Amino acid sequence: MLHRLTISQLTGQLARREVSSRDALEACLAQIDRVDPQVKAFLSADRADARAQADAADHALAAGTTHAQKPLLGVPIALKDVLCHRGQPVGCSSRILEGFVSPYDGTVVERLKTAGAVLFGRLNMDEFAMGSSTENSAYWTTLNPWDTTRIPGGSSGGCAAAVAANEAFATIGSDTGGSIRQPAALCGCVGLKPTYGRVSRYGLVAFASSLDQIGPFTKDTRDAATLLGAISGHDRRDSTSLVEPVPDYVAALESPGAGSTPLKGLRIGVVKEFQIGGVEAGVDAAVKTGIARLRELGAEIVEVSLPHSDYAAATYYIIAPAEASANLARFDGVRYGRRVDGADPFELNSRTRGAGFGPEVKRRIILGTYVLSSGYYDAYYLRAQKVRTLIRDDFLKAFEKVDAIVSPTAPTAAFKVGEKSSDPLQMYLSDIFTISCNLAGICGLSVPCGFTGTPRLPVGMQLLGRPLGEGTILKIAHAYEQSTDWHRQVAPLG
Amino acid sequence: MSDFNIHYVAKLARIALTPEEERTLGIQLDGILGYIAKLKEVDVSGVEPTAHAFPLFNVTRPDVVEPSLSTEEALRNAPAKAAGLFVVPKIVE
């Protein structure tokens, strides 16, 4: 059952030389062989390269390198197909990037390597991270390890499903409007979106540059703290990355001498505007029980108001497509990826993009092009940027009263394959609780908080924190985990 | 949105659409534009736009050449290349 260990359990066993990194990797690969034909989380895995990395980690362990020096030494971790890993394919689950091999390592990949991780596998996603179910992948839909008739969430659905199915000890994804937290909730794992600027995006294929952040999927909060510490920090190659020191997130999890009320002194807000219905009954019940538990653990629960919440989705669906239309202009059939020839460059560009992009990507590029086009910029994009200021101010005002905000991560548990795929607007509304966090640039995580009745599907509780408040939300989630065993439950395909 | 012309905007976006795609996308985008029109309700007078979630200004580096991808590596993924260059259809007559 090696594949079911958390990172902290695995590094303990590696340090004591009870298991090798190679054993850990082989356990993941065997699990992939066993369950991935059903889950379909992995697009590919370079096994020979991964085995060489694991053997190198075992040599380093034998030579006396410790996890204090390299916190992820020997730990197999898989990547969303949006992160550049030198010599490996990067496709964003899109036909337009078919055959692309990354010529360089992104900063996160570089930092994971420095921390000793064994990086293997490319994980399925909605094409260019646009979607909430992985149904927009050009290749296939990943399925939920708790119920393979259902989606795993998205866009980082492969990341969440791989952790829930214990095919990797952790995975790294990206979150533009909920793409880490929503699939983590639907698959029953921990997912963290850091503060905008906390983690460098150099080597992340850009979707919406003022919203995108990279973050981890893990089996528990302690592992999320370990990974966040490994990937955070300033990078001169990403001009939006913050020049702020990286705290010891793992050490910050413990409250010395707190006993049975580790959250005493913390104030946690519930949002008045989120109490308007529309949340599935089983999700609502599990989150309410979770909030009651936070109170038992010593937190003071108070109501806060985010008056512009109702406008977050509309704001997002102007800003994100607008930025995407600019970012995805680089896929022109000239420098990389697929090409469909034409008589002139215009025809070549248009045919390439018509053939290479899937329906959702086309929808968003065209929407973004329209809201930025001459005569409409002020009415749509500029107005959305102003509403965004109001949304951010709402959060900053709320954080004068509270240390964190708690809500459901998603309004429903995992839905059936095909249930929402024909109605883009319905699909967009599945991100209703996660979107405003990206617009405000704050941090957020999802932690497992129970299950719906029948069918039994995981439910996630979202904690939102102040800018650079990752330590606080991790501490709350950790204290919550210590008092429950939701995060230890194993999926039928785990 | 009566003035949304899918054919024209798709051309601006350089995406060739089939007539069937134009029809479907047109209907779907009309619905989405109807939804995002609700932002018109918000009073934004005197509000500054937020371009970036965490304000940072004027991040620069010295204007000097630094190591980067070699020509060979930069061309490795190109669909058509020759003599160290990307090949495209004729642009100027």
Which of B23, B61, B69, B77 should we substitute to test contact with A (largest number of A Cβ atoms within 10 Å)?
B77
Mark A462-494 as b/e (b = at least 16 C-beta within 10 Å): bbbbbbbbbbbbbbbbbbbbeebebbebebebb
Residue B60 above 90 pLDDT?
no
- Coil vs helix vs strand at B38: helix
Structure tokens at A371: 């809201």
Residue B9 above 50 pLDDT?
yes
The CATH superfamily assigned to A2-247 is: Amidase signature (AS) domain (3.90.1300.10)
Give the integer Cα–Cα distance in Å for A201 and B54: 14
Q: State the pLDDT confidence band at A250, using cuts at 50, 70 and 90.
A: very high
**Domain segments of chain B as ranges:** 6-38
Structure tokens at A169: 């000890």
Catalytic residue list of A = 80, 155, 179
State how far the alpha carbon of A467 is from the alpha carbons of A201, A205, A404, A477, in Å: 17, 24, 11, 17
User: In chain A, which among 260-319 make CB contacts under 8 A with chain B?
Assistant: 308, 310-311, 313-315, 317-318
B21 neighbourhood in chain A, CB within 8 Å: 359, 362
| pLDDT tens per residue, range A161-213 | 999 999 999 999 999 999 999 999 999 999 999 999 999 999 999 999 999 99
Give the integer Cα–Cα distance in Å for A175 and A316: 13
Give the integer Cα–Cα distance in Å for B78 and A345: 15
Q: State the pLDDT confidence band at B59, using cuts at 50, 70 and 90.
A: confident
Give the β-pairing of A458-465 and A404-408.
Answer: antiparallel
pLDDT at residue number A263: 95
pLDDT at residue number B92: 79
- Coil vs helix vs strand at A80: strand
| pLDDT tens per residue, range A433-454 | 999 999 999 999 999 999 999 9
Give the integer Cα–Cα distance in Å for A353 and A375: 25
Helices (H), A402-445: 424-428, 435-440
Report the percent of chain A where pLDDT is more than 90.
Answer: 94
CB atoms within 10 A of CB A66: 12
Query: What integer best gives the mean pLDDT of chain A?
Result: 96
Do residues A303 and A320 make contact, with C-beta atoms less than 8 angstroms apart?
Answer: no
Q: Express the helix, strand and coil content of chain A in percent, nearest 5 each.
A: 45, 15, 45
Do residues A183 and A154 make contact, with C-beta atoms less than 8 angstroms apart?
Answer: yes
User: In chain B, which among 66-85 make CB contacts under 8 A with chain A?
Assistant: 69, 73-74, 76-80
Give the integer Cα–Cα distance in Å for B6 and A484: 52
**Domain segments of chain A as ranges:** 2-247
pLDDT at residue number B1: 45
Which residue shows structure tokens 């490994």? Answer: A230
Residue A147 above 90 pLDDT?
yes
- Coil vs helix vs strand at A232: strand
Nearest Cβ partner of A210 from B35, B51, B79? B51
Using CB atoms within 10 A of its CB, is residue A456 exposed (0-12), middle (13-18) or buried (19+)? middle
| pLDDT tens per residue, range A95-145 | 999 999 999 999 999 999 999 999 999 999 999 999 999 999 999 999 999
Give the integer Cα–Cα distance in Å for A457 and A145: 10
Q: State the pLDDT confidence band at B56, using cuts at 50, 70 and 90.
A: confident
* A99 at interface of B, judged by CB pairs closer than 8 A: yes
Give the integer Cα–Cα distance in Å for A181 and B90: 47
What are the beta bridge partners of residue A271?
A: A304
Do residues A72 and A117 make contact, with C-beta atoms less than 8 angstroms apart?
Answer: yes
Q: How far is B77 from chain A (nearest CA, A)?
A: 5
Do residues A492 and A146 make contact, with C-beta atoms less than 8 angstroms apart?
Answer: yes
| pLDDT tens per residue, range A296-314 | 999 999 999 999 999 999 9
* A111 at interface of B, judged by CB pairs closer than 8 A: no
pLDDT at residue number A185: 98
Residue A475 above 70 pLDDT?
yes
pLDDT at residue number A119: 98
Q: State the pLDDT confidence band at B58, using cuts at 50, 70 and 90.
A: confident
Q: Are A346 and B14 in contact (CB < 8 Å)? A: yes
Q: Are B42 and A195 in contact (CB < 8 Å)? A: no
Report the percent of chain A where pLDDT is more than 70.
Answer: 99
Q: How far is B60 from chain A (nearest CA, A)?
A: 8
- Coil vs helix vs strand at A256: coil
Q: State the pLDDT confidence band at A257, using cuts at 50, 70 and 90.
A: low
Nearest Cβ partner of B14 from A341, A350, A383? A350
